């Protein structure tokens, strides 16, 4: 991993230029934020395993959207 990747992600997030996935589940009703990523394509490549893990935990349904945003903690919010 490139040593500059972490600081670059942090900077992009601080500027609101980072890519995030907003994942909303039902039963339980929770919103998860997955990111930050510098490139949308990288996020879209990394997202399927995360969604598979959520499905394996038994959520009733999930929807997601990919957004360019700035996020801070908490990255998991009750719905």
String of DSSP letters for 66-78: EEEE---S-SEEE
CA–CA distance, 17 with 4 (Å, rounded to integer): 16
d(CA 35, CA 69): 10
Token digits for 28?
């339980």
pLDDT, residue 78, reads 86
Q: What pLDDT is stored for residue 1 in this prediction?
A: 56
On whether the CB atoms of residues 34 and 19 are closer than 8 A, the answer is no
Radius of gyration of the chain (CA): 13
Which of 30-34, 44-48, 74-78 comes out lowest in average pLDDT? Answer: 74-78
- Separation CA 46–CA 49 (nearest Å): 6
pTM, two decimals, is 0.87
- Where are the domains positioned within the chain? 5-78
pLDDT of the residue at 70: 92
Q: What is the mean pLDDT of residues 24-47?
A: 95
């Amino acid at each position: 991993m490139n040593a500059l990747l972490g600081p670059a992600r942090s900077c992009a997030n601080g500027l609101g230029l980072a890519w995030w996935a907003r994942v909303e589940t039902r039963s339980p009703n929770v919103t998860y934020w997955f990111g930050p990523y510098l490139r949308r394509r990288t996020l879209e490549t990394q997202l399927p395993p995360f969604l598979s893990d959520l499905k394996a935990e038994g959520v009733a349904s999930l929807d997601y959207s990919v957004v360019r945003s700035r996020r801070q903690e908490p990255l998991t919010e009750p719905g």
